[in-house]
Structure 1
Amino acid sequence: MVNTKDLKDKVAVVTGGTRGLGLKITEAFVAEGVRVVAAARGTEGAAEGLGHLGDRAVFEQADVRDPESVKSLLSVAADRFGGVDIVVANAGLSRPGPVAGLSFENWSQVLDTNVNGVFHCVKESVPYLEKSEHGRIITLSSALGSRPTRGAASYCSTKAAVEMFTRVVALELAPLGITVNCLSPGFIDEGMGKLLKKNEAVWGQYAPKISLCRMGLGEEVADAAVFLASAAGSYVNGHVLEVNGGLSW
């Protein structure tokens, strides 16, 4: 039996935690008794989106591209709740387009958010997590991090980088008692997935590749995050956990 009772009163920071998959992870953590600081770059609708979670989820504005902003985010979380136990580096960005027409600006924006942002979150979290007896880092990749897709050079490349970064950091932080794992969702009915599903022509090409014959739910990814964050996942380290319904390519 999976026991997640150990999560009660732990403190988590979730970037990109006010909408889409990040919000689902925030909600799942709160349901387990975790106190969550949900961060996002923009403030519009953020606090309202967390309103149904009571005082166990609070919003903090942060830009993962800026190391000082991330440093402040971790400090605020620790000051408010007395420490940090779990960090979920979820904030991400996509700028699709073929390489021949992809601007360097768009390429850089994706790299800065998806790779540099994860780096800042992980690096700045170490001083807090090493003080915890329950240090957990969860990064977010994508099925496209290991599966090349036309028009997704920036996104695929950055998610592949996140997966290798996760494995390296897992080796380095293990002596500190911190586990580092990566969630790799497939086609999920949240955010960009919702838009994809509405495009019948494009979705018709991808749907047959999923053995379960459906998109995943945000809650199913969030459940995997809860597993990795809990004692049930304490012996999982440096792993890329695919949550994709049996996706073939």
Structure 2
Amino acid sequence: MTVQPNGLAERRIVITGGGRGLGRVVAEDLLRHGARVVIVGRKSTVTQWIQEHHAGSAVTADVTDAAQLAAAFAEAAARLGGLDVVFANAGVSRPGPLAVTPPANFTTVLETNVVGTFLTLQAAVPYLAESGSARFIALSSALAQRIAPGAGAYSISKAAIETLVRVAAIELAPQSISVNALSPGFIDEGMGRDLIANPPVWDRYLPTIAAGRPGRAEEIAGVARFLAGPDSDYVNGHVLEVNGGLAF
């Protein structure tokens, strides 16, 4: 892997859900740009990551389990000698109309996306507070602010994450921790890949994108790199949308 030097050199970064989908692309991009990266994920994705990325590191944890996250962050911080950036990327979706969504599915989405982000923040703050110029980045979605039938649970969870970000940004600013959300539109990776592969659904949404195409995961990774690096020092409490001009 060729490292491209910039302001991310030696930046100590943890990414939850970094073993697959969009999180994986972001993690690989950060590694290429000189950051030191530890991913946090379930055992199967962590095992595969370790096998494929000798420059990276990984620890196992369920983001809905506070004790597991606390242990994972302690281990990650020990390996890296501290933390500068945490990207709360782990998330799930359980599509379906709200009126008939099984309560267990709704709860799973909220626990993973909202509670998982909250617990990740709590686990991260003691280490980020020692950085002097830290970042906490949460993954939102274009669907946090736009109504898409069948995406109710997911949209609600992402709207909650955006409020969490705004509150945490104010509360953590005195500790030199900035808190922002990255909000992708329709992307050719992770959950977006499945949507794009569904012609009846994709044919409905493609005309609403000014760019006329889905975003590439690498384009989202570039924005994550900006939020993690020195050029975003004065960005705080912001939801940065990356969606090609989405209008619906």
Per the alignment, residue 210 of structure 1 pairs with 209
The alpha carbon displacement at 1:47 in A equals 3.1
Per the alignment, residue 232 of structure 2 pairs with 233
Q: Is the 8 A contact 1:187 1:193 kept in 2?
A: yes
Unaligned runs of 5+ in 2: none
Aligned residue runs from structure 1 range 14-163, under 5 A: 14-41=15-42, 43-49=43-49, 51-55=51-55, 57-163=56-162
| Partner-residue secondary structure (3-state), 1:6 | coil
Partners of 1:227 and 1:203 in 2: CA distance: 29
Structure 2 counterpart of 1:91, one-letter code? A
Aligned CA distance change for structure 1 residues 109 and 89 (closer, same or farther; 3 Å): same
Per the alignment, residue 190 of structure 2 pairs with 191
Partners of 1:244 and 1:52 in 2: CA distance: 30
Unaligned runs of 5+ in 1: none
Q: Is the 8 A contact 2:186 2:215 kept in 1?
A: yes
Aligned CA distance change for structure 1 residues 88 and 4 (closer, same or farther; 3 Å): farther
The alpha carbon displacement at 1:51 in A equals 4.1
Identity value in percent: 47
Partners of 1:198 and 1:124 in 2: CA distance: 36
Partners of 2:45 and 2:66 in 1: CA distance: 24
Instruction: Give the TM-score of the pair, scaled to structure 1.
Output: 0.95
**Deviation per residue, 1:108-156 (Å, 9 max, x gap):** 1001000000000111111100100221100000000000111111100
How many residue pairs are counted as aligned between the two chains?
Answer: 245
Partners of 1:217 and 1:224 in 2: CA distance: 12
Partners of 1:6 and 1:130 in 2: CA distance: 20
Aligned CA distance change for structure 1 residues 62 and 45 (closer, same or farther; 3 Å): closer
Partners of 1:48 and 1:71 in 2: CA distance: 22
| Partner-residue secondary structure (3-state), 1:159 | helix
The alpha carbon displacement at 1:190 in A equals 0.4
Q: Is the 8 A contact 2:84 2:135 kept in 1?
A: yes
| Partner-residue secondary structure (3-state), 2:7 | helix
Q: Is the 8 A contact 1:47 1:58 kept in 2?
A: no
Tell me, yes or no, if structure 1 residue 10 matches structure 2 residue 7. no
Instruction: Give the TM-score of the pair, scaled to structure 2.
Output: 0.95
Tell me, yes or no, if structure 1 residue 222 matches structure 2 residue 217. no
